[in-house]
Amino acid sequence: MSLKFTVVDAFTSKPFCGNPAAVIVLPENHTLPDSTLQGIAVEFNLSETAYIIQPADCSPKRGEDGEEYVDFGLRWFTPAREVRLCGHATLASASVLYADSSLIPASVNEIRFSTLSGILKARRINSTPPKVELQFPSGDIEPASAEVEKFACKMVAEAMEGVGVQFVGISRREPYGIYLLIEIDDTAPLKGMMVDPGRFGPTGTQFPIVTICQRTKSEAGIDVQGYDYRMFAVPVGVAEDPVCGSAISFAANYWESKTKPREYTGGDKYVEFTNRIRAVSSRGGEIDVICDGGWAKLRGEARVASRGEIYL
C-alpha cells in the first residue's frame, strides 16, 4: 500500500523558507491505525504531518452568510505525538485541497476543518499574491504568576545569554493552556540569536510550547509595526518550529494591544487592520494577523516543495 503526499512550505513564497509540512489526503473509509499515522510522521521527521480526512459527503454546503463551503477532517502529528492545533500544517492542507478541483470546486472559497480544537475555517483570499486565511481561536493573554515568571526568566537566562525579560504571559483559553509567551528586551535582535532550545523543555514542564517575541525593528534599528517571534517545543518533538501558526493565534491579541495595526485593503468586501508578524527562525516567514473578537485570522502564502508516495 502507498499514500501520496505533498510537502508544502507554509507562510512563504520562496524556496527553502517558511515551515514545511507533509500533507496526506487519506483514502475514503481508511482503516489505518494511529500507530501507522504516527510512524509516517516519524518517517517524514518534519515539525508536522497533516492528515486530511474525507467525509462521506464532500459536496459544497451553504453557510449562514450564503457562501458555499466544504467539510473535511484534519489531524496533525509531530514526530513525537498528535497535537491539538497547528497553523502551518492547516495552511498547507488548505492549499493542497484548493489545488485539487476534484475535491473542491473553483467556486468554493471556504473549507471547514473538523479538528481536536473544533471547527477551523480556511478561506481563499482575493489578494495579490494569493493567500489563505485561517480562522483560529485567539488566546486571552494575562500576566503569569510570580512563580511562572521566575521559571520563565530562568529558562531565558540559560537559553539566551544576556537577554532581559519584559513580560511573561499565559492563556487560560483552550488549547493554549500549555503555551507560554515571553517578550524579551531589544538588547540584541531575536533574528539570528544563538538559542539552546533544550533549555525551554524541562521534563514535566507545564508549558511545553514556548513563544519568544520582540518588537520588530527595521535593518536601520527603527521600530516598525509588528512583532518578531520564535517558537520552541522540545517536549512535543519540535526543537524550534520555523513558523508556528498556533503560537501566533495564541499571542495575537497581546501583540495587537501593543501595536497600532495598519489598514489592509486586499479584499473587495471589507477593510480590516492587520499586524505583520515575522517568524525569525533560520527559514523565516511572514504572516498578516487580524484580531476579530475571540478569533485570530492568519493570512499567508504557501508553495509546494515536493510530491511523492510513501510505501507502507
Q: Which residues are catalytic?
A: 48
What string of DSSP letters covers 15-41?
TT-SEEEEEEEPPTT----HHHHHHHH
Kindly state the greatest CA–CA separation across the chain: 56
Q: Is 292 left (phi over 0), alpha (psi -120 to 50) or beta?
A: beta
Q: 201: buried, middle or exposed (CB in 10 Å: 19+, 13-18, 0-12)? A: buried
Measured CA to CA in angstroms, residue 193 lies from 117, 123, 214, 283 at distances of 33, 35, 12, 13
Q: Which residues does residue 172 pair with via DSSP β-bridges, in sequence order?
A: none
Q: Phi then psi for 197, rounded to 5 degrees?
A: -60, -30
**Sequence letter at residue 96:** V
Cell of 66: 450564503
Looking at the chain, how many residues does it have? Answer: 312
What string of DSSP letters covers 199-264?
GG--TT-S--EEEEEEEEE-TTS-EEEEEEEEEEEGGGTEEEESS-HHHHHHHHHHHHHHS-PEEE
Please, where are the H alpha helices in the chain? 34-44, 87-98, 146-159, 245-258
Find, among 23, 8, 20, the residue nearest to 284 by Cα. 20
